[in-house]
Amino acid sequence: MANCYVLADKKTKQCVVIDCGGQHIQASIEIIKSNGFKPIYILATHAHFDHIEGTGIMKDAFPSVPFLVHKKGAKVCSRASKQLSDVCMWMIRRDIIDADDYFDNGSVFKLGPNLSISVLHTPGHSPGSTVFMVYIKKVLTYAISGDTAVMKGAAPMFWEGSLFWTKMSFVNFLEHIEKEANRVDLETFKLLPGHFAPLPFMKIRNGRYAKKAMKWAAKQRERECLALDI
């Protein structure tokens, strides 16, 4: 089951819900209501069933709030209920719904003057996989990574995409953070993955898997350059 995140601006009380993983839905709805938060979007890091299986329940609680996925996740989204019935034969759920609208790489969601979320498209684990980069006072503070970087900070999950692109998207994500170096405090920057507990980004970056993946990507790119030279 996937993690569900509620991200709210203290001043405006506007919030977004990211990944309606089934088991956390009621608790998330309770958090939103008891704090007086005003949801403006329901977002998904990608449209695999375990990340969107509770979206219908969330929409029942907040019917006017649009549900958005990356535009390349649209087809996967409409297939998700089939994935759910294939994987969990005993479960018949009607809580997966199609997206109301789509976002793209670089889309920005503003919750208040100090809190914004920008979309980093990381196709690999699935065509529409996305990392939500959360900026607080213009400092990159959290990356909500779905399954692009997961498994206790080690390997990203390989499922629908090819292993090549799953690894490459993980490397692209690490490199994007490096490009953002002047807007991130690496000591406090945290990864909020699709599964398992949040963890410091540097734990991933300095981990064995990330180092191996970076080396692997460098070799792949070298090979590609050589092929192009020929």
Query: Where on the chain is the footprint of Zn ion (CB under 5 A)?
Result: 48, 147
Q: Which long-range contacts (CB under 8 A, 24 or more apart) does 32-35 make?
A: 32/6, 32/8, 32/61, 32/62, 33/61, 35/8
Whether residue 61 contacts residue 68, with contact meaning beta carbons closer than 8 Å, is answered with: no
The distance from CA 131 to its chain's CA centroid, rounded to whole angstroms, is: 4
- What is the Cα 126 distance to its own chain's centre? 11
The least CB distance from residue 209 to Zn ion, in Å, is 18
Q: Which of residues 14 and 148 has its CB atom nearest to Zn ion in the complex? A: 148
Smallest separation (angstroms) from Zn ion to the CB of 16: 19
Instruction: Give me the residue whose beta carbon is nearest to Zn ion.
Output: 48
- The type of residue at 30 is E
Smallest distance, Zn ion to C-beta of residue 157, A: 6
Phi and psi of 102, rounded to 5°? -130, 155
Q: How far is the CB of 98 from Zn ion (least distance, A)?
A: 18
**C-alpha–C-alpha distance, residues 160 and 22, integer Å:** 20
Residue 152 exposure: Cα atoms within 13 Å on the Cβ side: 1
**Rounded to the nearest whole angstrom, what is the least distance from the CB of residue 74 to Zn ion in the complex?**
15
Q: Distance of CA 114 to CAs 12, 79, 107, 130, 198, Å?
A: 10, 36, 17, 22, 22
